[in-house]
Amino acid sequence: MELTFGTDVEEFRAEFVAFLDENLPTDAWDEPGSTADLPDWARRWQRTLFDNGWLQPGNPPEFGGRNANILQQYVYQVELARRRMFHSFNPQGVGIIAASLITFGTLEQQQKWAIPILRGELTAALGMSEPSAGSDLASLRTRAVRSADSRGDFVVNGQKVWTSGAHHADVILTFVRTDPDAPKHKGISVLLIPTDSPGVMRRPFAMASDREDLDFNEVFFTDVRVPSENLVGPLNGGWTVANGSLGHERNMLWLSYADRLDDLLTDFTPDTELERDKYATLVMDAYALRAMGSTVLAQAARGDEDVALLSVLKLMGSEAGQAATEVALNAQGPEGLVDRAITSPYNALNFHGHMGSWFDRYVRTFAGTIAGGTSEIQRNIIAQRVLGLPR
């Protein structure tokens, strides 16, 4: 199967390639400290992309895009992946939080929060998961109640965990329970909580793969007052916002897995006959993932959406990447555990976790089988919606 594009898509690609050739940063040396930490060069790079409509090409021009169709967005992602580079080092801020504000926020919220996040003037984190509510968002316990005074502010108490970049973020898009008596899915609201608000405490902790990688956070809210104008979407309508937020993330999630798998096939060279046999299996996985992804892409270009097939792609992509990295790690023997090692050419525009030791790269693949819907959840969706099995 070969995916080909019309003249408009190839012209779009050529324009983006020319932009990259002319504007790639030459002063990129400071590594971000988390996924909400933007060094000065990264802020300038993101702002340059925004000002030229190349930050999120599918957005309208006022939000850093050029109303690109899905095939144009695809080749945009492909060209970034070929260079192993990212358009923003605050991916949740740009891809989920700003996108949610564009869809569900007021004009004032878009001007105050979304555009500054897109321009790299602010960074944002996503406050969904809790100690008792990981994949099951409906079980969250962080509470927000209206204050008794005339302002009607929300007062928030509770805890979030796994909140990427929270200690560097300026604001957290926070999912809270506002009606404890409503059914679990119907009593949730969404608040923009500035991280400098009194009562907000952020406590970063290390990744399992790297003690120096402090991206995850516990976030504690103690009587935090949040202005009522920071409510995103309708009161108790947070479930719809959540589905929209994750929809922004999942739209081309399979492509990121395919890109990481291609990178691994480039970085890992098999030596023994057994390693070459396993490598051939990885190549077949990569081709299969691209072929199925291209089918979904073609459907989307026609206006069709196959949500169940996206689950197949997410499941296959995350687990194929994990299996591939395990093969590479095992092939290295004890050398694969050496840290801090570099397993691909250094590129300041790439996240360092994608070029660390083989052990580092392997452990990080487990996030892919959890974030965005666990493998178990994806299997349930496939069983019920694709195979027609009972619940």
List Cβ neighbours of 92 (8 Å cut-off, separation of 6 or more): 35, 36, 124, 125, 126, 164, 165
d(CA 299, CA 302): 5
146-165 average pLDDT score: 91
The answer to whether the Cα torsion of 297, 49, 60, 115 is positive or negative is positive
Please identify which residue in the block is written with the tokens 């962080």.
Answer: 142
For Cα atoms 214, 219, 225, give the angle at the middle one, nearest 5 degrees: 145
pLDDT interval class at 245 (50, 70, 90): low
CATH number for the region 252-386 comes to 1.20.140.10
The answer to whether 197 touches 226, Cβ cutoff 8 Å, is yes
d(CA 128, CA 126): 6
The answer to whether 67 touches 60, Cβ cutoff 8 Å, is yes
**Which one of the listed residues 249, 275, 305, 326 is annotated catalytic?**
249
User: What value does the mean pLDDT of the chain take?
Assistant: 92
d(CA 265, CA 325): 9
- pLDDT reading at 246 higher than 70: no
pLDDT interval class at 306 (50, 70, 90): confident
Q: Encode pLDDT of 70-86 as tens digits.
A: 999 999 999 999 999 99
- pLDDT reading at 67 higher than 90: yes
pLDDT interval class at 179 (50, 70, 90): very high
Verify whether residue 249 is a known catalytic residue: yes
The answer to whether 117 touches 98, Cβ cutoff 8 Å, is yes
Superfamily (CATH) of domain 124-237: Butyryl-CoA Dehydrogenase, subunit A, domain 2 (2.40.110.10)
d(CA 32, CA 345): 18
**What does the pLDDT read at residue 69?**
94
- pLDDT reading at 124 higher than 90: yes
Tell which residue, 165, 307, 166, 189, has the closest CA to residue 242: 189
Could you state, in order of their start, the residue ranges of all structural domains in the chain? 7-89, 124-237, 252-386
